[in-house]
Structures are given as C-alpha cells and as structure tokens.
Structure 1
Amino acid sequence: MPKNETKRLLATLLLALAAGTAGTAGAAEPPAMRLDRPQEASLVAVAAAGNRLVAVGDHGVVVRSDDGLNWTQADKVPVDTLLTALSFADERNGWAVGHGGVLLKTSDAGQTWALQQRLEDAPVLLSVWFENAQHGIVVGAYGYASETRDGGNSWQRLAVGEEGDDYHLNRVFPGPDHSLFIAAEGGNAYRSLDDGATWQALDTGASGSLWCGTALPDGRVLLAGMSGRVLLSDDRGDSWREVDSGSTEAITDIRALADGRVALVGNGGLVAVAGGDLAGFTPTVRPDRQNLSALAPLRGGDLLILGQAGVSPGLDKGGPGKPLD
C-alpha cells in the first residue's frame, strides 16, 4: 500500500475509534473531569469572550481566565469527551464542539455549559464558527459541514467540495469582505462568498493536510499545516504562495499579534514569529518538546500557548498579560 494511503487509513481508523467511543446511546454520560490544576490540563483550542479567554480540551475540560495568568475550571460541563474547538458570538454567548457530535452552549462567558444537542450521526466535529448569536457553522471529519440559523437549535447539512469528497474539514474561519474559509485534508481549502451557503474549492498547490488558517487585518489570508507549510494569499484566496516557516513540524495554529507580527505553534514544541511583511518566520523549539495546539494573542504583542502541558507564556520578552480587547 502506498505510504500516503497508509497514513490516510490510520487517520480514518483513529477518527472512527474516537467517534465510536464518544458515548453510548441511552447511557448516562459522566460530566467533565475535575482537576486541581486545570491550567495544566491538555488543551486543544482557545477563544476570546470579550476580555476573557476560554480554552477546551480532553475529558470535557473547559478553563477560563480574565488576566491570562489565573485559570479556573468551568463550574459545569455535562460531558466527558474530547472538546476540539469553540467560538464566541459576543462576550457571553459561545459554543464548543467535540467528538460524538457534541454541541455545548454557554450564556455566561464560559462559566457554565449545557449540552445543546448531539448532531445527527454523531460526527467528529473539528471546528466551529459563529458569526452572531443565530448563525453558525460546524465542520469535521469526512467532509462533515452543517449550518444553523437559529442559534444551534437546528442544523442543515452544507455541501463542501465535489460530491463524494470526504476530506476532513479541519478549520473554518472568517476571511475579508465577509468571506469564509475552510482548511482541509490533503492540501484542500474552500471559500464561501455568500455567508456559507455555497463553497468553492481553491487551488492551494499543496498536498499535505492544512490544519489551520487566519485572516490578517489587511485582508491577507494564511493557511498552515503539515510539514511546516504556510501558505499566503494576497488576493482573498484566488492564488497562494509559500512562506518559509523555518520548520518541518506540523503547524496547528496561526494568528496575528497585536503589534502586527504573526505567530504560529505546532508539534514538537514549535513556536515561530514573523514580521508583518511575512518574509519568513523565526522558529524556536521549547525545551520540553511538547506538542502545541493553540495560541492566544495578548496585548503588547505577547501570546499564550496551549498544548499537552496546558497554558504557558509563548514569548521570552514577557509573561502572561491581559487578553486583547
């Protein structure tokens, strides 16, 4: 079997196993694991709820911080499963998704969460984006994409890619001029220019999976993923060119900092920063070599990083500070 097909098969088996063990129909699911030091839990994703940071991870763990330094665990999370992503429509209303089609909702900036529903067929959900308190999109494994127009109470499937495509849809994020982008498996990426109703496949020129992406304040769009690949578009996704990340590690998150620079994190303790011109990234490797999954920009150009070892400062010029407005 060719090497790339072997990797695909292994990924498929792992995702199927995760989906199959996410919960048993009719069985009472335990709530989230309680931890003495939740900021040291393995964390997967982070989002801002106004000035508050909220992060999610395995076993239903949700942590929050108002200063980037002191973290507390959410008071109530009714599931003990891997939570993979979250999105806030405003400073109080947010949604988190995870394995088994789990959709959680908070109305108090992440202090308590309710299981709004489990999406039909219990998909492995990998990303969520809410434009406002009514309109949101979730994406996940095997080409799964759905949209809500009533705050998550009901969902309609979206067609992304050609009929029969089952590429994992890894990250949905907003672009310039009300566009939306999806970073996907196998170098695939998609763009919507009509608020998510229809999607166009983009020619990225890449072959390895794309795990994340972001739009910069000036309208440029970035995609990043396997083998340290960073792709930049100056024309809202019509064309792409590579930016040197300085690493071959898989990149898991990329974001703009408050001072105009761009930072990324990835596997093997990778943290890299580029100037606003994106001429190239300067990488560093954290001594513990722990895999990193997400970053949170802070005021003054600092950042926090999240991963297997929890939350820690990301730049040597300063420690934790206040979240961005």
Structure 2
Amino acid sequence: MKYLFVLTSILLLTDCSIKQVEPTIEPLDSPTESLLQAISIVDENTTWISGHDATFVRTRDAGESWELFNHPTGDSLQFRDVHGFNENKVVLMSAGPGSLSRIFTFIEPNEWEENFVMQDSLGFLDCIDFWDDQRGIAYGDAIDDYPYILLTSDGGKSWIRADSTNMPKAGKGEGGFAASGTCVTTGENGEAWIATGAGGNCRFLITKDYGQSWMEVNSPLVSGEAAGNTSVSFIGDTGVVTGGDLLIADEYTDNCAFSKDGGATWDLSNQPQTRGAFYGSTITNIDGQIFAFACGPKGLDYTSDFGKTWTTLDTLNYWALSMKGDFGYASGTDGKILRISLQP
C-alpha cells in the first residue's frame, strides 16, 4: 500500500506541474478597412501586416496600437506579402498580372525603392520569404514550362530567376495562391518549401540549398482547377499544409495535412470544424507541444494533436496567420487584426 501511496503522490505532483496551454484570441483596433492578407512578425513588439489598396500597417507595442502606411502612387497595388527586417525596414510584394507584380523596399519615414517589376504579361507573383537579412525567395505562377522562382542575395535589392536546370517542370496551369503570403516558407540551413496548386496540380517543391536545386513531393490535399495547396508552415522538420477547393465554400474537402520528416511524407488530418478552403496556416512549438492554426473565409481553427481533433476559435473571415512562440496574429477582411496568445 505504501508503494501505491508514493506512486499516487508522484502522479499528482506530476499532473500539477504540467502546464495546460490553450489559445486565447483578442480583436485589436485596426487603422484600416482594407483586406489585410500577409503578416510578418519581427519580434515580440514589432509586426508588419500588408494588404490591398497599397496599404500596410505596423505595431511596435505588441498590437496595442497600429500605424497606417500607403504606397505614394495610389491604391492600385495589392500588397499580398510582406517581410519585416526590423521596425523600420520592410520588403513588400504586390500581386497581379504582369507589371502589377512588383517587389519594393520601404524604409521609414518614407524611403521607397522599386526592386522588381514583372516583365512577362503572363507572370503573377504569389509570395516571398527570407532565410536571413540577405537571402530571400519569391514564387509565382509558372512561366515557360518551369516554376517561377526568384532569388535575392542582397536583402531584396535585386532578384534573379532561379536556374531551371535543377528543378522539375511545372504542370499545366500550376502556380500558387496569393492569399496569405505563405505559399513559400523558409527553414534552417537553406531549406524552403513551396506549396503549389491550381490547374489540377498539388505538390511541394523543396530545396535544401537556398534554391539552387529542387525536388518534388506530392501533396495529399484535394486538387482541381481552383484547388490545391494554399499555405505551408514549418518549425524544424514538423510542418502543416492547408488548402482546399476555392470553389467549394460550404463543404469539407481534404484540406489539411502534417509532416514530421521535413516534408518528405504527409498525412491527412481529420476533418476540421470550419468548412471550405483554408487560405493561411501557421505552426508553433510550446514546451514540446505542437500547435497548428488554419484560417479561411469561414473561420479560424486550431489543433494541438496533429489534426486528430480541431477547435474553432472564430467564425469570421481571415486570410493570414503567423505565430512566433506563444503569440501571433490573424488578419483578414475589413482590416481585421486578431491577436492569438498561448498561455498556461
């Protein structure tokens, strides 16, 4: 009996020491009503979020207040991705057919530099990301039978198209969904993952050498003319991909999967609570526990068991997600900004 008592005491003490972490959400005051669809967290205080109408916003006080910025040429640009280097410098990607796809550098208070303009009328940029303060990558819809991948080695000042010699050919109509700025994500030691879709295509392009060579891995998500992968997020070798069929708004499709081996293999998750396609995803690790979040026009869900079970956090229209440790943000239509916190 005494051993049972000791064992019971140990179990009770162990249970008491386990911190139960659950996400909480807080709507924040936004300075705009424009669609906000890409998020870049610099640190616990500074975050940049970009969107339509040539609009982007910044917080330097962990979301307590937000400052509004606009490109000086007007509201025709759609800033569908953003990467913040610090509280003063940011790279912005505008999306659209042909010359509407551009990459800019902005340095406060009002220094603008246009770094790239799409010359091909069939071109369409979808997303960007950076490995560090010099090396970065941009992805767009396929041109000339190959994936359209741009690389920079000078912090975004200049961009060159990646050599197609060491990459698989593109599928007909293959590209990305410029919905959340997360169809490409970078990792450590030159790793990056591109999530493709459209035209019946649905796969990953993976590099381990800063974009010099690429391999392909099939995705288990639904494919179709307006379907496939929309967003991919990794922390170490653990990743989540979301997507779906953008033409099926009120039904469930195979729209979320997880990888535990750096993207070599993927397993479909169970059905989320939110229906329709997901536009954005993010993943984070809190004391060894993995949390993944997915959002779309019908709402925001999360899972802490690799998609075995899902919980809905909100039912409003969100396009983008980003987590950094135990905090992050979601953004969407009508200038919505939501702070997400993971606290015991």
- Whether 1:201 and 2:220 are equivalent positions in the alignment is no
- Whether 1:214 and 2:211 are equivalent positions in the alignment is no
Q: 1:281 to 1:176 in 2, by over 3 A?
A: farther
Alpha-carbon distance in 1 for matches of 2:138, 2:169: 18
Looking at secondary structure, tell me which structure has more strand per residue: 2
Alignment match, 1:47:
40
Alpha-carbon distance in 1 for matches of 2:89, 2:103: 13
| Cα shift at 1:239 | 1.0
| Cα shift at 1:71 | 1.4
Compute the TM-score of the two structures, normalised by the length of structure 1. 0.74
Alignment match, 1:250:
277
Deviation per CA, 1:271-312: give whole Å up to 9, x if none: 1111155433213552xx4x311124377x454321112223
Structure 1 runs not aligned, ≥5 long: 1-36, 319-325
Alpha-carbon distance in 1 for matches of 2:328, 2:258: 22
Structure of higher CA gyration radius: 2
Is the CA contact 1:228–1:251 (under 8 Å) kept in the aligned structure 2? no
- Whether 1:147 and 2:151 are equivalent positions in the alignment is yes
Structure 2 runs not aligned, ≥5 long: 1-29, 178-182, 245-252
| Mapping for residues 210-289 of structure 1, pairs under 5 Å | 210-217=229-236, 219-226=237-244, 227=253, 229-244=255-270, 245-257=272-284, 259=286, 260=289, 261-268=291-298, 270-275=299-304, 277-286=306-315, 289=316
Compute the TM-score of the two structures, normalised by the length of structure 2. 0.71
Alignment match, 2:8:
none
| Cα shift at 1:172 | 1.0
Match for residue 337 of structure 2 among 305, 312, 316: 312
Alignment match, 1:295:
321
Alignment match, 1:192:
207
| Matched positions, count | 276
In structure 1, give the amino acid aligned to 2:130: F
In structure 2, give the amino acid aligned to 1:97: M
Is the CA contact 2:281–2:322 (under 8 Å) kept in the aligned structure 1? no
Alignment match, 1:125:
125
Q: 1:264 to 1:207 in 2, by over 3 A?
A: closer
| Cα shift at 1:196 | 0.9
Is the CA contact 1:63–1:72 (under 8 Å) kept in the aligned structure 2? yes
Larger RCO: Structure 1 or Structure 2 (Cα < 8 Å, ≥ 6 residues apart)? 2
Alpha-carbon distance in 1 for matches of 2:254, 2:331: 18
Secondary structure of 2:279's aligned partner: strand
Alpha-carbon distance in 2 for matches of 1:39, 1:228: 34
Looking at secondary structure, tell me which structure has more helix per residue: 1
Superposition RMSD on alpha carbons, in Å? Answer: 2.9
| Cα shift at 1:113 | 4.1
Q: 1:106 to 1:137 in 2, by over 3 A?
A: same
Alpha-carbon distance in 2 for matches of 1:316, 1:236: 26
In structure 2, give the amino acid aligned to 1:153: K
